[in-house]
């Protein structure tokens, strides 16, 4: 069980009452007379995110009131309880009444307690929650562990998180779960994954392709592909300073794939899991790939480089071609791929692309249920012509500046024959802290896909 979950044997747990305009009278009637008097004297209003600590008769902490949105309001945050782990004093707590969703509230409580302490000392909060009745604490623990792994990898700066360190993280996860790892680098990478090699050619930190496998060969094959660009300068088409500032998170797709892999393996889903990560650094040097260079991809498609800052789709193209050769039941790729997706949907709503309508409906429903939302965008085939090259099969960027998330997805579609392919264009970052989501790295779409796969193969 996760350390932020209290055990049923804890001597005392302090109650938390969830209160809103619709249930305020009934909640207050359940308190003692002196607690009601204190609430009135404090002028407490049951508004979302408001916390009031209630004194016990002996002067200790008797309980807490925490405000939620009233049922039926246009916007309800199922993760509102994620604020509590940062607001409550040390101790063990329990939910005295039901929040909007006890499972998501407990998950948010734990996710909100995340701290990244690798480079400076963090003060332990020592706030724990008793798992609510009917909630699977072991499964929540698997999810929190996966999200924590993802956040830690993305939050780590690039001087300590290059291709070699990303490989080490994959190997550590594989060792934990008895998985196998194969890594391709050097001449073998240039021969078998030429686009990955080209993107990483400008860096002193050698590129590589990481291939993790787990499970029985006769179980349904599920393949996850994660963009592992450990830092992106933009290459010779260099980014400006603002665009480059947060590019340590450009391996967020790889971190998300590893997070989901942990959830799957820890639960023991009946699948044959494969995780493919092209790990590179897009740097500038005399050996960097150049605009107008042409490379023959693993799939045999020739690609003209229209912009070296569109490197993520290049490394994914070779990785997806490899994934497709295995004929899996599902291929899902995760990538911090386009600013266009953020312009269209903002930072909190990842874009999902697939030709499989049934898969899209299943996945979006899981995302809604898990408070891990996504939004489907179209693979609009008429835009394929925007990727044409006069001297190669394909250009890595489109002509014109519109529909960038769609054209990036269409580029990737050329390298996948499988219908059950899901492309997820994620942001992997929370710029301003929100309940259950501290500022910094964020694990997007993994919980939704885990829920979907658990329903299929659990």
H/E stretch holding 345 reads helix 339-345
- Cβ contacts of residue 167 below 8 Å, gap of 6+? 181, 183, 208, 210, 279
Q: What is the mean pLDDT of residues 135-150?
A: 97
Same domain, 409 and 445: yes
Does pLDDT of 135 surpass 90?
A: yes
Catalytic choice (70, 239, 267, 456): 239
Whether 271 has a pLDDT exceeding 80, the answer reads yes
- Is 70 exceeded by the pLDDT of residue 263? yes
Distances (CA, A) of 153 to 146, 209, 267, 392: 11, 17, 21, 37
Looking at the fold, whether 169 and 314 belong to one and the same domain comes out as yes
Say how far apart CA 49 and CA 51 lie, in whole Å.
6
Here the CATH number for the domain that contains residue 103 is 3.40.220.10
DSSP-derived letter for residue 114 is -
Residue 160 has pLDDT above 80, yes or no: yes
- Which CATH number is 417's domain given? 3.40.630.10
Q: Are residues 159 and 173 in the same domain?
A: yes
pLDDT of residue 441: 98
Is 274 found in the same domain as 128?
no
Distance CA 230, CA 308 (A): 15
Mean pLDDT of 81-100: 96
> For residue 9, is pLDDT > 70?
no
19's CB contacts (< 8 A; 6+ apart) are 27, 28, 46, 65, 66, 67, 68
Query: Would you call 283 exposed, middle or buried from its count of C-beta atoms within 10 A (0-12, 13-18, 19+)?
Result: buried
The one catalytic residue among 313, 414, 437, 447: 313
Query: How much is the average pLDDT of 86-103?
Result: 96
Same domain, 109 and 256: no
CA torsion sign, 64 to 67 to 71 to 76? negative
239 among known catalytic residues? yes
Q: Report the DSSP beta bridge partners of residue 54.
A: 63
Q: Which domain holds residue 14?
A: 5-135
Q: Is the pTM of this model over 0.75?
A: yes
- Is the same domain home to 361 and 318? yes
Last residue of a domain, one of 103, 135, 167: 135
Tokens found for residue 230? 């450990």
| Entry field: residues in the chain | 458
Give the pLDDT score at 304: 98
156 and 92 in a single domain? The answer is no
Q: Is the pLDDT of residue 35 over 90?
A: yes
272 and 197 together in one domain: yes
Averaged confidence pLDDT in the chain = 96
413 is catalytic: no
Residue 172 shares a structural domain with residue 233: yes
Domain count for the chain, please give it: 2
Q: Are residues 122 and 264 located together in one domain of the fold?
A: no
Q: Are residues 120 and 179 in the same domain?
A: no
Q: How confident is the model at residue 326 (pLDDT cuts 50, 70, 90)?
A: very high
Please, what is the Cα angle at 199 between 193 and 200, to 5 degrees?
90
Q: Which of 135, 160, 176 is the last residue of a domain?
A: 135
Across the range 351-377, mean pLDDT stands at 98
Residue 146: name the closest of 455, 452, 448 by CA. Answer: 448
Residues 318 and 439 in one domain: yes
What is the tens place of the pLDDT at every residue in 101-115? 999 999 999 999 999
Decide which of 100, 135, 170 is a domain's last residue. 135
- Model pLDDT for residues 366-400, shown as the tens digit of each residue: 999 999 999 999 999 999 999 999 999 999 999 88
């Amino acid at each position: 069980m996760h350390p932020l979950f209290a055990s049923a044997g804890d001597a005392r747990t302090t109650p938390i009452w969830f209160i809103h305009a619709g249930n305020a009278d009934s909640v207050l009637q359940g308190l003692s007379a002196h607690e009601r008097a204190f609430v009135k004297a404090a002028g407490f209003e049951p508004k979302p995110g408001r916390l009031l600590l209630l004194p016990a008769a002996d002067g200790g902490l008797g309980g807490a009131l925490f405000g939620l949105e009233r049922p039926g309001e246009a916007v309800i945050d199922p993760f509102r309880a994620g604020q509590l782990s940062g607001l409550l004093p040390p101790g063990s707590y329990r939910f005295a009444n039901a929040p909007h969703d006890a499972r998501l509230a407990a998950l948010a409580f734990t996710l909100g307690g995340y701290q990244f302490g690798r480079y400076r000392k963090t003060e332990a909060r020592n706030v724990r929650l008793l798992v609510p009745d009917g909630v699977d604490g072991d499964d929540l623990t698997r999810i929190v562990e996966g999200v924590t792994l993802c956040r830690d990898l993305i939050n780590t700066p690039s001087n300590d998180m290059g291709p070699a360190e990303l490989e080490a993280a994959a190997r550590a996860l594989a060792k934990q779960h008895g998985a196998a790892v194969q890594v391709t680098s050097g001449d073998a990478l240039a021969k078998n994954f030429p686009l990955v090699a080209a993107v990483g050619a400008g860096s002193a930190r050698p590129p590589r392709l990481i291939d993790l496998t787990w499970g029985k060969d006769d179980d349904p094959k599920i393949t996850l592909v994660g963009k592992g660009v450990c830092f992106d300068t933009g290459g010779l088409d260099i980014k400006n300073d603002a665009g480059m500032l947060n590019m340590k998170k450009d391996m967020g797709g790889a971190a998300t794939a590893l997070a989901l892999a942990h959830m799957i393996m820890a639960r023991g889903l009946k699948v044959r899991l494969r995780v493919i990560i092209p790990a590179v650094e897009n740097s500038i040097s005399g050996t960097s790939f150049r605009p107008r260079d042409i490379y023959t991809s693993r799939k045999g498609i020739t690609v003209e480089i229209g912009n070296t800052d569109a490197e993520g789709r290049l490394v994914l193209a070779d990785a997806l071609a490899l994934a497709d050769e295995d004929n899996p039941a599902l291929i899902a790729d995760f990538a911090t791929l386009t600013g266009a997706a953020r312009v269209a949907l903002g930072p909190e709503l990842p874009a999902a692309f697939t030709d499989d309508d049934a898969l899209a409906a299943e996945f979006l429903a899981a995302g809604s249920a898990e408070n891990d939302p996504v939004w489907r965008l179209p693979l609009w085939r008429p835009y394929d012509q925007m990727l044409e090259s006069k001297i190669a099969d394909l250009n890595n960027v489109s002509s014109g500046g519109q529909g960038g998330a769609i054209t990036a997805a269409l580029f990737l579609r050329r390298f996948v024959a499988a219908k059950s392919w899901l492309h997820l264009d994620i942001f992997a970052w929370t710029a301003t802290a929100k309940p259950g989501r501290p500022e910094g790295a964020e694990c997007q779409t993994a919980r939704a896909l885990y829920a979907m796969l658990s329903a299929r193969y659990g």
